[in-house]
Protein backbone atom coordinates (compact mmCIF):
# COMPACT_ATOMS: atom_id res chain seq x y z
CA UNK A 1 0.00 0.00 0.00
CA UNK A 2 1.21 3.51 -0.78
CA UNK A 3 1.68 5.08 2.65
CA UNK A 4 0.12 8.40 1.60
CA UNK A 5 -3.34 6.93 0.95
CA UNK A 6 -3.82 4.82 4.06
CA UNK A 7 -7.06 4.65 6.05
CA UNK A 8 -6.11 7.70 8.12
CA UNK A 9 -5.21 9.94 5.18
CA UNK A 10 -5.67 13.63 6.18
CA UNK A 11 -6.66 12.66 9.75
CA UNK A 12 -3.99 14.18 11.97
CA UNK A 13 -5.43 13.50 15.44
CA UNK A 14 -7.06 10.65 17.32
CA UNK A 15 -10.28 12.67 17.55
CA UNK A 16 -10.31 13.25 13.78
CA UNK A 17 -9.77 9.56 13.15
CA UNK A 18 -12.64 8.53 15.41
CA UNK A 19 -14.98 11.12 13.92
CA UNK A 20 -14.26 9.96 10.42
CA UNK A 21 -14.31 6.20 10.91
CA UNK A 22 -17.18 6.04 13.40
CA UNK A 23 -19.41 8.78 11.99
CA UNK A 24 -18.53 10.32 8.61
CA UNK A 25 -17.46 7.21 6.71
CA UNK A 26 -20.65 5.33 7.49
CA UNK A 27 -23.00 7.95 6.10
CA UNK A 28 -24.53 7.47 2.62
CA UNK A 29 -23.86 10.06 -0.07
CA UNK A 30 -26.46 12.69 -0.93
CA UNK A 31 -25.25 14.13 -4.22
CA UNK A 32 -27.71 16.99 -4.68
CA UNK A 33 -25.86 18.62 -7.58
CA UNK A 34 -23.93 16.91 -10.35
CA UNK A 35 -23.65 16.66 -14.12
CA UNK A 36 -23.85 12.90 -14.53
CA UNK A 37 -25.60 11.62 -17.64
CA UNK A 38 -29.14 10.42 -16.83
CA UNK A 39 -28.94 8.24 -19.93
CA UNK A 40 -25.82 6.49 -18.67
CA UNK A 41 -27.46 5.91 -15.29
CA UNK A 42 -30.74 4.63 -16.74
CA UNK A 43 -29.12 2.34 -19.32
CA UNK A 44 -26.57 1.03 -16.79
CA UNK A 45 -23.78 2.07 -19.11
CA UNK A 46 -20.65 -0.09 -19.24
CA UNK A 47 -17.44 1.83 -19.96
CA UNK A 48 -15.15 0.59 -22.69
CA UNK A 49 -11.95 1.68 -20.88
CA UNK A 50 -10.50 3.71 -18.05
CA UNK A 51 -10.01 6.51 -20.57
CA UNK A 52 -13.73 6.83 -21.25
CA UNK A 53 -14.79 6.98 -17.61
CA UNK A 54 -11.83 9.09 -16.47
CA UNK A 55 -10.92 11.46 -19.29
CA UNK A 56 -13.96 11.97 -21.52
CA UNK A 57 -15.57 15.28 -20.59
CA UNK A 58 -13.24 16.01 -17.65
CA UNK A 59 -12.00 19.53 -18.25
CA UNK A 60 -10.14 19.54 -14.91
CA UNK A 61 -7.79 16.95 -16.39
CA UNK A 62 -7.79 18.60 -19.83
CA UNK A 63 -6.49 21.85 -18.35
CA UNK A 64 -3.68 20.01 -16.58
CA UNK A 65 -2.76 18.11 -19.75
CA UNK A 66 -2.57 21.31 -21.80
CA UNK A 67 -0.49 22.99 -19.09
CA UNK A 68 1.88 20.01 -19.21
CA UNK A 69 2.44 20.55 -22.92
CA UNK A 70 0.28 17.69 -24.19
CA UNK A 71 -1.11 18.31 -27.70
CA UNK A 72 -4.87 18.52 -28.15
CA UNK A 73 -4.89 15.32 -30.22
CA UNK A 74 -4.10 13.42 -27.01
CA UNK A 75 -6.73 15.31 -25.00
CA UNK A 76 -9.91 15.76 -27.00
CA UNK A 77 -8.66 14.73 -30.45
CA UNK A 78 -8.61 11.46 -32.34
CA UNK A 79 -5.95 9.56 -30.41
CA UNK A 80 -6.68 6.06 -29.16
CA UNK A 81 -7.85 5.40 -25.62
CA UNK A 82 -4.45 4.02 -24.68
CA UNK A 83 -2.56 6.99 -26.14
CA UNK A 84 -4.77 9.42 -24.23
CA UNK A 85 -4.43 7.49 -20.99
CA UNK A 86 -0.67 7.27 -21.41
CA UNK A 87 -0.53 11.06 -21.79
CA UNK A 88 -2.56 11.43 -18.58
CA UNK A 89 -0.40 8.94 -16.69
CA UNK A 90 2.69 10.91 -17.70
CA UNK A 91 1.03 14.12 -16.49
CA UNK A 92 -0.08 12.86 -13.07
CA UNK A 93 3.39 13.10 -11.45
CA UNK A 94 3.45 16.73 -12.57
CA UNK A 95 0.25 17.49 -10.64
CA UNK A 96 1.84 17.42 -7.17
CA UNK A 97 -0.02 19.88 -4.89
CA UNK A 98 -2.90 20.07 -7.36
CA UNK A 99 -6.05 18.31 -6.06
CA UNK A 100 -5.98 16.13 -9.17
CA UNK A 101 -3.09 14.22 -7.60
CA UNK A 102 -5.12 13.25 -4.55
CA UNK A 103 -8.34 12.65 -6.49
CA UNK A 104 -6.59 10.42 -9.01
CA UNK A 105 -5.18 8.08 -6.39
CA UNK A 106 -8.27 8.07 -4.19
CA UNK A 107 -10.34 7.09 -7.22
CA UNK A 108 -7.93 4.32 -8.13
CA UNK A 109 -8.01 3.05 -4.56
CA UNK A 110 -11.73 3.35 -3.90
CA UNK A 111 -13.17 2.29 -7.24
CA UNK A 112 -10.60 -0.23 -8.44
CA UNK A 113 -8.76 -1.38 -5.33
CA UNK A 114 -5.45 -0.15 -6.79
CA UNK A 115 -3.49 1.16 -3.83
CA UNK A 116 -0.09 -0.45 -4.21
CA UNK A 117 1.37 2.07 -6.65
CA UNK A 118 1.24 5.67 -7.76
CA UNK A 119 0.23 6.44 -11.32
CA UNK A 120 3.03 7.48 -13.64
CA UNK A 121 4.62 6.50 -16.97
CA UNK A 122 6.16 3.33 -15.53
CA UNK A 123 2.89 2.09 -13.95
CA UNK A 124 0.48 3.27 -16.67
CA UNK A 125 0.05 -0.03 -18.51
CA UNK A 126 -0.48 -2.05 -15.33
CA UNK A 127 -3.02 0.42 -13.93
CA UNK A 128 -4.84 0.65 -17.26
CA UNK A 129 -5.19 -3.11 -17.58
CA UNK A 130 -6.12 -3.77 -13.94
CA UNK A 131 -8.74 -1.02 -13.96
CA UNK A 132 -10.00 -2.29 -17.30
CA UNK A 133 -10.63 -5.71 -15.79
CA UNK A 134 -12.61 -4.18 -12.93
CA UNK A 135 -14.61 -2.04 -15.38
CA UNK A 136 -16.04 -5.22 -16.87
CA UNK A 137 -18.05 -5.43 -13.63
CA UNK A 138 -18.48 -1.74 -12.81
CA UNK A 139 -21.48 -0.38 -14.67
CA UNK A 140 -22.82 3.06 -13.76
CA UNK A 141 -25.43 1.63 -11.41
CA UNK A 142 -22.90 -0.66 -9.75
CA UNK A 143 -20.61 2.31 -9.15
CA UNK A 144 -23.41 4.29 -7.51
CA UNK A 145 -24.14 1.29 -5.31
CA UNK A 146 -20.48 0.80 -4.48
CA UNK A 147 -20.06 4.42 -3.38
CA UNK A 148 -23.33 4.20 -1.41
CA UNK A 149 -24.99 7.05 -3.28
CA UNK A 150 -28.52 7.33 -1.90
CA UNK A 151 -29.58 10.34 -3.98
CA UNK A 152 -28.20 11.83 -7.16
CA UNK A 153 -29.65 15.03 -8.67
CA UNK A 154 -28.68 15.59 -12.29
CA UNK A 155 -28.73 18.91 -14.15
CA UNK A 156 -31.44 19.15 -16.80
CA UNK A 157 -32.73 21.73 -19.25
CA UNK A 158 -36.45 22.63 -19.00
CA UNK A 159 -36.90 21.38 -22.57
CA UNK A 160 -35.50 17.91 -21.77
CA UNK A 161 -38.11 15.14 -21.90
CA UNK A 162 -36.69 13.37 -18.81
CA UNK A 163 -37.35 10.00 -20.42
CA UNK A 164 -34.28 8.47 -18.80
CA UNK A 165 -35.45 9.69 -15.40
CA UNK A 166 -38.84 8.05 -15.93
CA UNK A 167 -37.23 4.79 -17.02
CA UNK A 168 -34.84 4.68 -14.09
CA UNK A 169 -37.51 5.56 -11.53
CA UNK A 170 -39.52 2.50 -12.61
CA UNK A 171 -36.52 0.15 -12.47
CA UNK A 172 -35.27 -1.99 -9.60
CA UNK A 173 -32.08 0.09 -9.51
CA UNK A 174 -34.04 2.97 -7.96
CA UNK A 175 -34.29 0.85 -4.81
CA UNK A 176 -30.53 1.41 -4.43
CA UNK A 177 -30.11 4.99 -5.68
CA UNK A 178 -32.81 7.58 -6.30
CA UNK A 179 -32.15 9.84 -9.30
CA UNK A 180 -33.96 13.18 -9.57
CA UNK A 181 -33.82 15.91 -12.21
CA UNK A 182 -32.82 19.51 -11.48
CA UNK A 183 -34.38 22.42 -13.40
CA UNK A 184 -31.59 24.46 -15.06
CA UNK A 185 -33.14 27.26 -17.20
CA UNK A 186 -29.93 29.13 -18.11
CA UNK A 187 -30.67 29.05 -21.84
CA UNK A 188 -33.95 30.87 -21.32
CA UNK A 189 -32.00 33.79 -19.83
CA UNK A 190 -29.45 33.97 -22.66
CA UNK A 191 -31.15 36.66 -24.74
CA UNK A 192 -27.96 38.34 -26.01
CA UNK A 193 -27.82 36.34 -29.27
CA UNK A 194 -31.29 36.63 -30.88
CA UNK A 195 -30.83 33.69 -33.26
CA UNK A 196 -29.72 31.29 -30.53
CA UNK A 197 -32.40 32.63 -28.18
CA UNK A 198 -35.17 32.15 -30.69
CA UNK A 199 -34.02 28.64 -31.56
CA UNK A 200 -34.06 27.70 -27.89
CA UNK A 201 -37.54 29.15 -27.33
CA UNK A 202 -38.80 27.12 -30.28
CA UNK A 203 -37.44 23.98 -28.61
CA UNK A 204 -38.92 24.97 -25.26
CA UNK A 205 -42.25 25.74 -26.93
CA UNK A 206 -42.34 22.34 -28.58
CA UNK A 207 -41.60 20.60 -25.27
CA UNK A 208 -44.24 22.57 -23.36
CA UNK A 209 -46.94 22.75 -26.02
CA UNK A 210 -46.94 26.55 -25.79
CA UNK A 211 -46.26 28.80 -28.77
CA UNK A 212 -43.80 31.33 -27.37
CA UNK A 213 -44.34 34.74 -28.91
CA UNK A 214 -44.05 36.99 -25.85
CA UNK A 215 -42.71 37.17 -22.32
CA UNK A 216 -46.04 36.02 -20.87
CA UNK A 217 -46.12 32.94 -23.10
CA UNK A 218 -42.48 32.23 -22.21
CA UNK A 219 -43.46 32.20 -18.53
CA UNK A 220 -46.40 29.93 -19.32
CA UNK A 221 -44.09 27.48 -21.11
CA UNK A 222 -41.58 27.49 -18.25
CA UNK A 223 -44.32 26.95 -15.68
CA UNK A 224 -45.64 23.94 -17.61
CA UNK A 225 -42.16 22.46 -17.62
CA UNK A 226 -41.77 23.31 -13.94
CA UNK A 227 -44.92 21.30 -13.23
CA UNK A 228 -43.66 18.47 -15.43
CA UNK A 229 -40.33 18.32 -13.57
CA UNK A 230 -42.16 18.46 -10.24
CA UNK A 231 -44.32 15.48 -11.18
CA UNK A 232 -41.15 13.48 -11.87
CA UNK A 233 -39.75 14.24 -8.42
CA UNK A 234 -37.73 17.39 -9.07
CA UNK A 235 -37.42 19.67 -6.06
CA UNK A 236 -34.36 21.75 -7.03
CA UNK A 237 -33.52 24.38 -9.59
CA UNK A 238 -30.04 25.55 -10.49
CA UNK A 239 -28.56 28.58 -12.23
CA UNK A 240 -25.01 29.18 -13.44
CA UNK A 241 -24.56 32.97 -13.42
CA UNK A 242 -21.75 35.47 -13.26
CA UNK A 243 -23.82 37.32 -10.67
CA UNK A 244 -27.46 37.59 -9.64
CA UNK A 245 -29.63 39.99 -11.64
CA UNK A 246 -31.87 42.44 -9.80
CA UNK A 247 -32.32 45.52 -11.98
CA UNK A 248 -35.51 47.58 -11.89
CA UNK A 249 -37.90 46.90 -14.76
CA UNK A 250 -41.51 47.09 -15.90
CA UNK A 251 -43.44 44.15 -17.33
CA UNK A 252 -44.31 46.21 -20.39
CA UNK A 253 -40.63 46.86 -21.03
CA UNK A 254 -39.79 43.16 -20.71
CA UNK A 255 -42.60 42.18 -23.08
CA UNK A 256 -41.25 44.63 -25.65
CA UNK A 257 -37.68 43.30 -25.25
CA UNK A 258 -38.77 39.69 -25.87
CA UNK A 259 -40.78 40.66 -28.93
CA UNK A 260 -37.79 42.50 -30.39
CA UNK A 261 -35.41 39.62 -29.64
CA UNK A 262 -37.77 37.17 -31.34
CA UNK A 263 -37.74 39.44 -34.40
CA UNK A 264 -33.95 39.15 -34.51
CA UNK A 265 -33.09 42.49 -32.91
CA UNK A 266 -30.11 42.60 -30.58
CA UNK A 267 -30.84 44.20 -27.19
CA UNK A 268 -28.60 46.66 -25.38
CA UNK A 269 -26.70 45.38 -22.34
CA UNK A 270 -29.09 47.27 -20.05
CA UNK A 271 -32.14 45.77 -21.71
CA UNK A 272 -30.67 42.29 -21.45
CA UNK A 273 -29.95 42.78 -17.74
CA UNK A 274 -33.49 43.95 -17.09
CA UNK A 275 -34.88 40.92 -18.94
CA UNK A 276 -32.67 38.55 -16.92
CA UNK A 277 -33.75 40.29 -13.70
CA UNK A 278 -37.42 39.82 -14.52
CA UNK A 279 -37.13 36.19 -15.59
CA UNK A 280 -34.90 35.18 -12.68
CA UNK A 281 -37.38 36.74 -10.25
CA UNK A 282 -40.34 34.96 -11.84
CA UNK A 283 -38.49 31.63 -11.86
CA UNK A 284 -37.70 32.08 -8.17
CA UNK A 285 -41.40 32.62 -7.48
CA UNK A 286 -42.16 29.30 -9.20
CA UNK A 287 -39.61 27.58 -6.96
CA UNK A 288 -41.19 29.04 -3.87
CA UNK A 289 -44.71 28.11 -4.96
CA UNK A 290 -43.78 24.42 -5.26
CA UNK A 291 -41.51 24.22 -2.23
CA UNK A 292 -38.30 23.78 -4.21
CA UNK A 293 -34.74 24.73 -3.36
CA UNK A 294 -33.08 27.23 -5.71
CA UNK A 295 -29.32 27.09 -6.29
CA UNK A 296 -27.16 29.88 -7.69
CA UNK A 297 -23.61 29.11 -8.81
CA UNK A 298 -22.04 32.56 -9.04
CA UNK A 299 -18.76 33.90 -10.32
CA UNK A 300 -17.61 32.01 -13.42
CA UNK A 301 -16.56 33.76 -16.61
CA UNK A 302 -16.84 31.37 -19.51
CA UNK A 303 -15.43 30.66 -22.94
CA UNK A 304 -12.43 32.97 -22.63
CA UNK A 305 -10.34 31.39 -25.39
CA UNK A 306 -12.14 32.26 -28.62
CA UNK A 307 -10.08 30.02 -30.88
CA UNK A 308 -10.45 26.93 -28.71
CA UNK A 309 -14.10 27.67 -27.93
CA UNK A 310 -14.82 27.69 -31.66
CA UNK A 311 -12.96 24.42 -32.13
CA UNK A 312 -14.27 22.48 -29.13
CA UNK A 313 -17.39 24.26 -27.88
CA UNK A 314 -18.35 25.12 -24.29
CA UNK A 315 -17.33 23.28 -21.10
CA UNK A 316 -13.97 22.22 -22.49
CA UNK A 317 -11.65 23.91 -19.99
CA UNK A 318 -11.56 27.59 -20.96
CA UNK A 319 -13.54 29.10 -18.11
CA UNK A 320 -12.13 30.97 -15.11
CA UNK A 321 -12.93 32.80 -11.86
CA UNK A 322 -14.64 36.15 -12.40
CA UNK A 323 -14.75 39.29 -10.28
CA UNK A 324 -18.28 40.59 -10.83
CA UNK A 325 -20.04 42.40 -8.00
CA UNK A 326 -21.98 39.92 -5.88
CA UNK A 327 -23.27 41.62 -2.71
CA UNK A 328 -25.64 44.36 -3.85
CA UNK A 329 -27.42 42.47 -6.65
CA UNK A 330 -27.74 39.35 -4.50
CA UNK A 331 -29.17 41.37 -1.61
CA UNK A 332 -31.67 43.09 -3.92
CA UNK A 333 -32.69 39.81 -5.50
CA UNK A 334 -33.27 38.05 -2.18
CA UNK A 335 -34.96 41.05 -0.60
CA UNK A 336 -37.54 41.43 -3.38
CA UNK A 337 -38.61 37.85 -2.86
CA UNK A 338 -38.50 38.01 0.94
CA UNK A 339 -40.55 41.21 0.99
CA UNK A 340 -43.47 39.31 -0.55
CA UNK A 341 -42.76 36.17 1.47
CA UNK A 342 -41.78 34.34 -1.74
CA UNK A 343 -38.20 33.42 -0.91
CA UNK A 344 -37.61 29.69 -1.38
CA UNK A 345 -34.90 27.63 0.24
CA UNK A 346 -31.77 29.06 -1.39
CA UNK A 347 -28.15 27.97 -1.80
CA UNK A 348 -25.53 30.53 -2.90
CA UNK A 349 -22.17 29.28 -4.19
CA UNK A 350 -19.32 31.69 -4.90
CA UNK A 351 -16.40 30.89 -7.19
CA UNK A 352 -14.14 33.77 -6.19
CA UNK A 353 -12.66 33.11 -2.72
CA UNK A 354 -12.60 36.84 -2.01
CA UNK A 355 -16.40 36.52 -1.61
CA UNK A 356 -16.37 33.82 1.10
CA UNK A 357 -17.15 36.05 4.06
CA UNK A 358 -19.39 38.23 1.90
CA UNK A 359 -21.73 35.33 1.09
CA UNK A 360 -21.51 33.83 4.58
CA UNK A 361 -22.61 37.16 6.06
CA UNK A 362 -25.23 37.89 3.40
CA UNK A 363 -27.21 34.70 3.96
CA UNK A 364 -27.72 35.63 7.62
CA UNK A 365 -29.83 38.61 6.57
CA UNK A 366 -32.52 36.36 5.07
CA UNK A 367 -32.85 33.51 7.56
CA UNK A 368 -36.42 33.62 8.86
CA UNK A 369 -36.64 30.84 11.44
CA UNK A 370 -38.97 28.74 9.27
CA UNK A 371 -36.36 26.20 8.18
CA UNK A 372 -32.99 25.43 9.80
CA UNK A 373 -30.37 26.85 7.46
CA UNK A 374 -33.01 28.03 4.97
CA UNK A 375 -30.47 30.18 3.13
CA UNK A 376 -27.33 28.12 2.65
CA UNK A 377 -23.75 29.05 1.91
CA UNK A 378 -22.98 26.38 -0.68
CA UNK A 379 -19.93 24.16 -0.60
CA UNK A 380 -16.68 25.21 -2.24
CA UNK A 381 -17.03 24.35 -5.93
CA UNK A 382 -15.15 24.05 -9.21
CA UNK A 383 -11.81 25.85 -8.76
CA UNK A 384 -12.28 25.83 -4.97
CA UNK A 385 -13.22 22.20 -4.22
CA UNK A 386 -9.76 21.39 -2.90
CA UNK A 387 -8.30 21.33 0.61
CA UNK A 388 -7.60 25.04 0.94
CA UNK A 389 -10.82 26.12 -0.75
CA UNK A 390 -13.03 23.80 1.29
CA UNK A 391 -11.34 24.71 4.55
CA UNK A 392 -11.74 28.43 3.87
CA UNK A 393 -15.43 27.95 3.04
CA UNK A 394 -15.95 25.97 6.25
CA UNK A 395 -14.12 28.64 8.28
CA UNK A 396 -16.20 31.47 6.79
CA UNK A 397 -19.44 29.60 7.42
CA UNK A 398 -18.37 28.64 10.95
CA UNK A 399 -17.37 32.18 11.87
CA UNK A 400 -20.41 33.95 10.42
CA UNK A 401 -23.16 31.31 10.40
CA UNK A 402 -23.84 27.79 11.65
CA UNK A 403 -21.67 24.99 10.33
CA UNK A 404 -24.04 22.60 12.13
CA UNK A 405 -26.83 23.40 9.61
CA UNK A 406 -24.67 23.06 6.47
CA UNK A 407 -26.02 20.64 3.82
CA UNK A 408 -22.52 19.53 2.94
CA UNK A 409 -20.63 18.37 -0.11
CA UNK A 410 -21.63 17.60 -3.69
CA UNK A 411 -19.64 16.34 -6.68
CA UNK A 412 -20.58 18.93 -9.35
CA UNK A 413 -18.99 16.43 -11.72
CA UNK A 414 -19.61 14.57 -14.97
CA UNK A 415 -17.61 11.57 -13.79
CA UNK A 416 -18.94 8.47 -12.03
CA UNK A 417 -15.53 8.18 -10.35
CA UNK A 418 -15.81 11.53 -8.54
CA UNK A 419 -17.46 10.27 -5.36
CA UNK A 420 -14.19 10.15 -3.39
CA UNK A 421 -14.58 13.94 -3.32
CA UNK A 422 -17.20 13.35 -0.63
CA UNK A 423 -14.66 11.27 1.28
CA UNK A 424 -12.08 14.03 0.77
CA UNK A 425 -14.49 16.60 2.21
CA UNK A 426 -15.49 14.40 5.14
CA UNK A 427 -11.89 13.70 6.06
CA UNK A 428 -11.11 17.41 5.93
CA UNK A 429 -14.14 18.27 8.08
CA UNK A 430 -13.19 15.70 10.73
CA UNK A 431 -9.60 16.90 10.71
CA UNK A 432 -10.69 20.52 11.30
CA UNK A 433 -12.78 19.46 14.28
CA UNK A 434 -10.05 17.23 15.65
CA UNK A 435 -7.51 20.01 15.31
CA UNK A 436 -9.80 22.42 17.18
CA UNK A 437 -10.17 19.91 20.02
CA UNK A 438 -6.39 19.58 20.21
CA UNK A 439 -6.09 23.37 20.44
CA UNK A 440 -8.69 23.57 23.19
CA UNK A 441 -11.19 25.40 20.99
CA UNK A 442 -13.86 22.68 21.06
CA UNK A 443 -14.86 20.22 23.80
CA UNK A 444 -13.68 16.65 23.46
CA UNK A 445 -17.27 15.42 23.34
CA UNK A 446 -17.27 12.66 20.73
CA UNK A 447 -21.04 12.29 20.52
CA UNK A 448 -21.60 16.04 20.17
CA UNK A 449 -18.96 16.30 17.48
CA UNK A 450 -20.07 13.06 15.88
CA UNK A 451 -23.61 14.39 15.59
CA UNK A 452 -22.33 17.46 13.76
CA UNK A 453 -20.31 15.26 11.41
CA UNK A 454 -23.26 12.99 10.64
CA UNK A 455 -25.47 16.00 10.01
CA UNK A 456 -23.09 17.74 7.63
CA UNK A 457 -22.18 14.51 5.85
CA UNK A 458 -25.76 13.41 5.14
CA UNK A 459 -28.54 14.15 7.63
CA UNK A 460 -28.88 17.89 7.00
CA UNK A 461 -29.27 17.33 3.25
CA UNK A 462 -31.81 14.59 3.93
CA UNK A 463 -33.93 16.96 6.04
CA UNK A 464 -33.40 20.06 3.90
CA UNK A 465 -34.19 18.73 0.41
CA UNK A 466 -36.94 16.31 1.52
CA UNK A 467 -36.46 13.92 -1.39
CA UNK A 468 -37.55 10.34 -0.96
CA UNK A 469 -34.67 8.04 -0.08
CA UNK A 470 -34.20 4.37 -0.89
CA UNK A 471 -35.19 2.23 2.07
CA UNK A 472 -31.63 1.21 2.96
CA UNK A 473 -30.52 4.84 3.37
CA UNK A 474 -33.64 5.94 5.22
CA UNK A 475 -33.41 3.13 7.74
CA UNK A 476 -29.71 2.58 8.37
CA UNK A 477 -27.40 5.57 8.08
CA UNK A 478 -24.67 3.99 10.17
CA UNK A 479 -24.22 0.88 8.05
CA UNK A 480 -20.66 0.09 7.00
CA UNK A 481 -19.52 0.89 3.48
CA UNK A 482 -19.91 -1.78 0.83
CA UNK A 483 -16.97 -3.99 0.11
CA UNK A 484 -14.71 -3.28 -2.83
CA UNK A 485 -16.10 -4.34 -6.22
Q: pLDDT tens digits for the chain (485 residues)? A: 467 888 999 999 999 999 999 999 999 999 999 999 999 999 999 999 999 999 998 999 999 999 999 999 999 998 999 999 999 999 999 999 999 999 999 999 999 999 999 999 999 999 999 999 999 999 999 999 999 999 999 999 999 999 999 999 999 999 999 999 999 999 999 999 999 999 999 999 999 999 999 999 999 999 999 999 999 999 999 999 999 999 999 999 999 999 999 999 999 999 999 999 999 999 999 999 999 999 999 999 999 999 999 999 988 999 999 999 999 999 999 999 999 999 999 999 999 999 999 999 999 999 999 999 999 999 999 999 999 999 999 999 999 999 999 999 999 999 999 999 999 999 999 999 999 999 999 999 999 999 999 999 999 999 999 999 999 998 754 444 433 33
* pLDDT at residue number 475: 73
Asked whether the beta carbons of 210 and 220 are under 8 A apart, the reply is yes
* pLDDT at residue number 474: 86
Q: Listing from the earlier edge strand, what are the strands of the sheet with 375-377?
A: 236-241, 293-298, 345-350, 375-377
300-301 and 320-321: which strand pairing? antiparallel
Q: What is the pTM of this model?
A: 0.95
- Between helix 269-289 and helix 215-231 the angle, nearest 10°, is 40
* CA 31 to centroid of chain Cα atoms: 8
Ordered structural domains, the chain, with CATH: 47-135 (1.10.2020.10)
C-alpha R_g of the chain: 23
Amino acid sequence: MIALYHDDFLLETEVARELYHEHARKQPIYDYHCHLSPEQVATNHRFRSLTEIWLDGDHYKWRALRTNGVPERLITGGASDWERFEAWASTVPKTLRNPLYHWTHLELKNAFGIQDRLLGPDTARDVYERAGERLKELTTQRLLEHFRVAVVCTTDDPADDLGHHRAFASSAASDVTRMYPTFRPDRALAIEDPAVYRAYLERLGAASGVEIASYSTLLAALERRHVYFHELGCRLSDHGLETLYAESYSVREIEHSVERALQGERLSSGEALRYKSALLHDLARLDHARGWTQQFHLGAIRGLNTRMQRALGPDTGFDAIGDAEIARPAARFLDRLDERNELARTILYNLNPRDNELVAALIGCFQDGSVPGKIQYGSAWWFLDQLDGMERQIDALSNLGLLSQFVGMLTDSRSFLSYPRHEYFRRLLCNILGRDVARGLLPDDRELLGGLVRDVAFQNARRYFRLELPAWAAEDTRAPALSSP
